[in-house]
Amino acid sequence: MPTKRLLLCLLLLPAAAHAAVDDGAARYQQALDAAYAHYRLPGIAVGVIEDGKVAYTGARGELAAGEGVPVDADTLFKIASNTKAMTAAVLARLVQAGRLRWDDPVTRHLPQFRMHDPWVTAHMQVRDLLIHNSGLGLGAGDLMLWPEPNHFSREDIIAGLAHLKPVGSFRADYAYDNLLYVVAGEVAAAAGGKPYAQLLREEIFEPLGMARCQAGQWSPAAVGNVARPHRREAARNIPAAADPARVDDFPSMAAGGVRCSLNDMLRWMQVLLDPQQAPGWLDATQRRALWTAHMPMPVGQRQRDWDNTHFHAYGYGWRLSDMDGQWKVAHTGTLSGMYSSLALLPDRRSGAVILINGEAEDARTVLMQALLKQQTRPGAGLDVAYYAGLLEREAAQRHAGGHGPVPLPQGVPATVAGFGADAGVWADPWFGQVALCPAGDGITFASEKSPAMHGRVVLADGRPWVRWQGIGEDADAWLEFTGDGPERRLHLRAIDPGIDFSYDFQDLEFSRVGDCR
């Protein structure tokens, strides 16, 4: 009898294991379906890795809402700031090849590089470009990157850094930035002897088999299956205009310009989790450098409450923390109507990735929590509905405390006669010229290098503000004039204090340089 029972157990094992795998995949699919429905997303692709193997992939929705072409595992999405980890990996490959060192001064590779403080210029190392410790304010200079498209070059960005005043001490505090990742891409190009996008293809995409990832110049028509960003408008997903026939190698590529598919991102994750997936691609020293805690970050209350987090830090292109007692390596990406999230649990050789082609900050947060909790706290019932409820209660508390979105002031169009001598051409040292000039009976604001930043000037109780026509109204800004004569200055101040940090109006200071033409 014991022998028969043992035989029966052995015969049942494969079926039981298969049932367990199917059950896990079903839970991941339930999470995807719940997030897709709850947040009414235009399109989404999700993948999960368990113990080094792809355990689940799923996709829902359309490339462009209303057009009927479905998202799948090969659809290209903007991964936005998840590009930063790839930029760091390119540099790690160059360090491994002996082409540069992490502690090289940036000026060794880019002699034209300047920060506002000459001491910082001299002491800024390659590693500092990646860990948000420059002393610049949150998102400083991002108006040279977004909104897109614009006419700023990489040379403009590097030159502009010298005019951005620090708000803290070098290497003292964490403040997220994008400009220094653009510099990091140029350091890679100088050390590698090739353009950044070419290095990305040769050092990352080709050796790892990430066949559909795109960087630099490429043709959407030739590549095909490309998701379009969406904005939310009256509970509807409105697709952005289709990509041009040729996507150019735009300046912010190294900070957030890569597009990849779900299958590409799963391959990226597998190689990061298991060196044997790509032997020799990156040695143990450089892998450890990427995931070392180089810059402390604050631990938020939500992290404490949701994940029992005790530490939080930035590595090279990655955020590092602990989640339910397990090591977590992660990043997110947000860019013009596309959201991404990638999280790894290295000790489990597991992780998840989410790609969404809509405005989906809450959806991304909730779904990633639900996916990871199936591995860190299985059976606890911490699903999409649970986390969505927590976020909705947080939002309700903010609104009750008067911290909701700020309504736009009532106003009337500014007139040429009423605007007076402040009409004219104004210039900022890094942002360039803007024109506050007559258009019909009114006054318009128009940026020379950032065409999307144009709008009509409106007066509310005599106070001027810009109602943007090229970007969302949540970025509308007051125009504030100070001083007299040669000391007259123009500043922009966000009307809504909850504005996206990339609208770094606080870093602008315009001087009048001429009359309207």
Bridge partners of residue 49, in order along the sequence? 54, 351
Stretch (H or E) spanning 385: helix 384-400
What pLDDT shows up at residue 420?
Answer: 81
* CA–CA dist 123, 343 (Å, integer): 33
Residue 2 has pLDDT above 70, yes or no: no
> 129-147 burial by CB neighbour count: b if 16+ within 10 A, else e?
bbbbbbbbbebbbbbbbbb
Residue 472 has pLDDT above 90, yes or no: no
CA neighbor of 129 nearest in space, from 90, 78, 97, 79? 90
Residue 268 has pLDDT above 70, yes or no: yes
What is the per-residue pLDDT across 153-200, written as a single tens digit (0 to 9) for each? 999 999 999 999 999 999 999 999 999 999 999 999 999 999 999 999
For tokens 């040695």, the residue is: 283
What is the per-residue pLDDT across 356-386, written as a single tens digit (0 to 9) for each? 999 999 999 999 999 999 999 999 999 999 9
Indicate the pLDDT class of residue 416, thresholds 50, 70 and 90: confident
| The dihedral sign for the CA sequence 110, 111, 115, 120 | positive
Structure token pair of residue 23 = 């059950």
What pLDDT shows up at residue 144?
Answer: 97
* CA–CA dist 125, 181 (Å, integer): 13
Look up the pTM and report it. 0.93
* CA–CA dist 102, 244 (Å, integer): 38
Region for residue 308 given its phi and psi (left: phi exceeds 0; alpha: psi -120 to 50; beta: otherwise): left
Residue 455 has pLDDT above 80, yes or no: yes
Indicate the pLDDT class of residue 473, thresholds 50, 70 and 90: low
Indicate the pLDDT class of residue 148, thresholds 50, 70 and 90: confident
* CA–CA dist 311, 466 (Å, integer): 42
Which segment of 14-18, 298-302, 307-311, 399-403 scores lowest on mean pLDDT?
Answer: 14-18
Structure token pair of residue 340 = 């991404």
Burial of 82 (0-12, 13-18, 19+ CB in 10 A): buried
Residue 69 has pLDDT above 90, yes or no: yes
Structure token pair of residue 517 = 């033409």
* CA–CA dist 458, 159 (Å, integer): 33
| % of the chain surpassing 70 pLDDT | 95
Provide Rg for the chain, Cα atoms: 25
Indicate the pLDDT class of residue 22, thresholds 50, 70 and 90: low
Chain mean pLDDT for the chain = 93
Indicate the pLDDT class of residue 474, thresholds 50, 70 and 90: confident
Domain 26-400 -> CATH class: alpha beta
Residue 3 has pLDDT above 90, yes or no: no
Which segment of 117-131, 203-217, 394-408, 493-507 scores lowest on mean pLDDT?
Answer: 394-408
Structure token pair of residue 228 = 């379009």
Task: Identify the DSSP state of 449.
Answer: S
Mean pLDDT, rounded, for 27-55:
98
Q: Packing angle between helix 83-96 and helix 179-192, nearest 10 degrees?
A: 30
Which segment of 132-146, 199-213, 297-311, 468-482 scores lowest on mean pLDDT?
Answer: 468-482
Residue 66 has pLDDT above 90, yes or no: yes
| % of the chain surpassing 90 pLDDT | 86
Residue 517 has pLDDT above 70, yes or no: yes
Indicate the pLDDT class of residue 23, thresholds 50, 70 and 90: confident
What pLDDT shows up at residue 441?
Answer: 84
What pLDDT shows up at residue 4?
Answer: 39
Residue 17 has pLDDT above 70, yes or no: no
Task: Identify the DSSP state of 214.
Answer: B
Who contacts 439 (Cβ-Cβ below 8 Å, separation ≥6)?
456
Bridge partners of residue 467, in order along the sequence? 456
* CA–CA dist 223, 345 (Å, integer): 32
What pLDDT shows up at residue 463?
Answer: 92
What pLDDT shows up at residue 10?
Answer: 35
Mean pLDDT, rounded, for 245-256:
96
Indicate the pLDDT class of residue 13, thresholds 50, 70 and 90: very low
What pLDDT shows up at residue 9?
Answer: 39
Residue 404 has pLDDT above 80, yes or no: no
What pLDDT shows up at residue 154?
Answer: 97
Who contacts 265 (Cβ-Cβ below 8 Å, separation ≥6)?
47, 79, 82, 342, 353, 355
Residue 6 has pLDDT above 80, yes or no: no
CA neighbor of 441 nearest in space, from 470, 481, 412? 412
What pLDDT shows up at residue 408?
Answer: 81
CA neighbor of 76 nearest in space, from 229, 302, 273? 229
* CA–CA dist 469, 445 (Å, integer): 10
* CA distances to 244, 451, 473 from 149, in Å: 11, 8, 18
Question: Which has more confidence, 42 or 6?
Answer: 42
* Helix locations, 244-298, DSSP H: 253-256, 262-273, 284-290
